[in-house]
């Protein structure tokens, strides 16, 4: 059964075509700069790469082009082979605790929670509608970034603020990257030779955006992002946790609106803010090699924040079987993993520095004597989307 996993942004559309349940990747690609004259369509399949620069005015045109290519390049014989389309949707609020088959009611509900993710949900919906127009008879499924975290208890998801902020406006921790945290925690349990219901796992998803998740017996118990993805640990351009009074203070000192200050916390902070150089981990590590003090501070600050969260989750979980690293930095930057794990000595964690040099493949990178295993696990959100689409289209 062929399933397309889709991640639609406001001007982009990423896709993978998978053969399920084998989970074989048949094609993957991205359409970028939708709405501009020089849109870029890239598709990889069978060791080949096909790239075209042309005007793609809307997501609907992007989807038509993708479907034409799938047949035109002989990746599929006919479009009838496609039996499901799964879409990443950023925010499901409290309405969606699992993935769901999309119908008119679900679309309305995704629109209803859009004020919680005003940049993302409308873009995700554009992708959903474009595929529905092109493939009206195919089961379409929404897979929410927030759904995995809906198992958190109020003591984890409530903020200590006036209660009616929650009842009136839904102010609470939602958490994100749920699809990745779920995938990695399932792989981790498998690597440990345990059932998910037996394992206590901490997942560190460290990419440009970054969050941690405490997974107890297969369920998200706590996570570091909050009401928005700004909370938690320092990221490429996001600050992570700060004293909220700083927002008002800087707004007065620099004569900026609250929106402008929040924009700086989202776009000008984290690695970029502290280093003054770059939001990209590779650039930062090059600068660290040169002895650049601000870059050293940027990577150490992030490592400290991550280690502190791991400590907190170790307490919440009442122990831990494995700490997992995933996403662009977690999978590739051995230097970052070392900085973090070196701060965890109190937990009896020991990194195997040799094994830690691995990049982008599943591996146990702790010493045999380590009290907690350290696992490197490449994430695969598309496979999770395709699995849920398969499960719900039966
Ligand atoms: P997102 O999906 O949140 O945009 P990614 O998971 O793609 O982010 O991660 C992007 C980050 O991963 C960048 O900071 C990039 O420098 C880092 N990264 C990717 N490859 C490497 C590598 N080989 N070494 C170090 N960092 C890497």
Range of the domain at 269: 194-381
Which of 328, 331, 336, 337 to mutate to test ligand 1, by most ligand atoms within 8 A of the CB atom?
A: 328
Q: Is the CB of 281 under 6 A from ligand 1?
A: yes
Residue ending a domain, choose from 110, 144, 178: 144
Band of the pLDDT at 262, cuts 50, 70, 90? very high
How far apart CA 378 and CA 331 sit, in angstroms, is 6
How far apart CA 113 and CA 178 sit, in angstroms, is 17
Closest atom, ligand 1, to C-alpha of 209: 3
User: Percent helix, strand, coil in the chain (nearest 5)?
Assistant: 45, 20, 35
The mean predicted confidence, pLDDT, of the chain is 97
Query: Quick one: average pLDDT of 4-20?
Result: 96
In a domain, 201, yes or no: yes
Q: Which two tokens stand for residue 222?
A: 């706590």
Band of the pLDDT at 119, cuts 50, 70, 90? confident
Does residue 145 have an active-site annotation? yes
DSSP summary character for residue 150? G
Residue ending a domain, choose from 144, 177, 206: 144
| Sign of the torsion angle spanned by Cα atoms 88, 89, 90, 94 | negative
Q: Which two tokens stand for residue 210?
A: 């970054």
CATH of the domain at 30: 3.30.420.40
Radius of gyration of the chain (CA): 21
Band of the pLDDT at 394, cuts 50, 70, 90? confident
Residue 389 pLDDT:
98
**Distance from residue 289's CA to the centre of ligand 1 (Å):** 18
What count of other Cβ atoms lies within 10 Å of the Cβ of residue 57? Answer: 12
Residue 353 pLDDT:
98
In a domain, 136, yes or no: yes
Q: What are the Cα distances from residue 147, in Å, to 7, 16, 20, 92, 182?
A: 16, 21, 22, 7, 10
Residue 118 pLDDT:
87
Cross-strand pairs, 48: 45
Contacts of 373 (CB under 8 A, 6+ apart): 192, 321, 322, 323, 364, 366
Number of domains making up the chain: 2
Smallest CA-to-CA distance from 108 within 67, 142, 61 is with 142
* Peptide bond just before 255 cis, omega within 30 deg: no
In a domain, 150, yes or no: no
Percent of the chain with pLDDT over 90: 98
Same domain, 140 and 209: no
Same domain, 230 and 347: yes
**56-110 per-position pLDDT tens digit:** 999 999 999 999 999 999 999 999 999 999 999 999 999 999 999 999 999 999 9
Band of the pLDDT at 236, cuts 50, 70, 90? very high
**289-306 per-position pLDDT tens digit:** 999 999 999 999 999 999
Band of the pLDDT at 149, cuts 50, 70, 90? very high
In a domain, 153, yes or no: no
Closest atom, ligand 1, to C-alpha of 333: 25
In a domain, 170, yes or no: no
**199-219 per-position pLDDT tens digit:** 999 999 999 999 999 999 999
């Amino acid at each position: 059964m062929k399933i397309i996993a889709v991640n639609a942004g406001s001007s982009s559309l990423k896709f993978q075509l998978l053969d399920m349940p084998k989970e074989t990747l048949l094609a993957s690609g991205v359409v970028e700069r939708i709405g501009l004259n020089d849109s870029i369509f890239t598709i990889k399949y069978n060791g080949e790469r096909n790239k075209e620069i042309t005007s793609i005015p809307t997501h609907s045109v992007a989807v038509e082009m993708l479907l034409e290519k799938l047949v035109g390049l002989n990746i599929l014989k006919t479009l009838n082979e496609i039996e499901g389309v799964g879409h990443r949707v950023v925010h499901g609020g409290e309405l969606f605790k699992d993935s769901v088959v999309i119908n008119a009611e679900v679309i309305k509900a995704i629109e209803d929670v859009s004020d919680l993710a005003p940049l993302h949900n409308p873009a995700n919906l554009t992708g959903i509608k474009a595929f529905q127009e092109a493939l009206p008879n195919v089961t379409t499924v929404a897979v929410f970034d927030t759904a995995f975290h809906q198992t958190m208890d109020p003591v984890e998801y409530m903020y200590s603020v006036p209660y009616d902020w929650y009842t009136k406006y839904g102010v609470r921790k939602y958490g994100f990257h749920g699809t990745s945290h779920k995938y990695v925690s399932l792989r981790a349990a498998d690597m440990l030779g345990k059932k998910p219901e037996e394992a206590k796992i901490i997942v560190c998803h460290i990419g440009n955006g970054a969050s941690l998740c405490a997974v107890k017996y297969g369920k998200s118990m706590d996570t570091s992002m909050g009401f928005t993805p700004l909370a938690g640990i320092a990221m490429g351009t996001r600050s992570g946790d700060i004293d909220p009074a700083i927002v008002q203070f800087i707004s007065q000192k620099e004569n900026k609106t609250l929106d402008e200050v929040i924009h700086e916390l989202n776009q000008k902070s984290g690695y970029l803010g502290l280093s003054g150089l770059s939001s990209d981990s590779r650039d930062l590590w090059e600068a660290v090699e040169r002895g650049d003090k601000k870059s050293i501070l940027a990577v150490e600050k992030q490592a400290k924040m991550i280690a502190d969260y791991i400590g907190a989750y170790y307490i919440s979980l009442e122990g831990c079987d494995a700490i997992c690293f995933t996403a662009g930095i977690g999978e590739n930057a051995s230097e970052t993993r070392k900085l973090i794990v070196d701060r965890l000595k109190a937990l009896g964690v020991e990194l195997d520095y040799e094994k830690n040099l691995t990049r982008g493949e599943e591996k146990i990178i702790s010493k045999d004597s380590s009290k907690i295993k350290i696992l490197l696990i490449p994430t695969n959100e598309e496979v999770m989307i395709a699995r849920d689409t398969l499960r719900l289209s039966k």
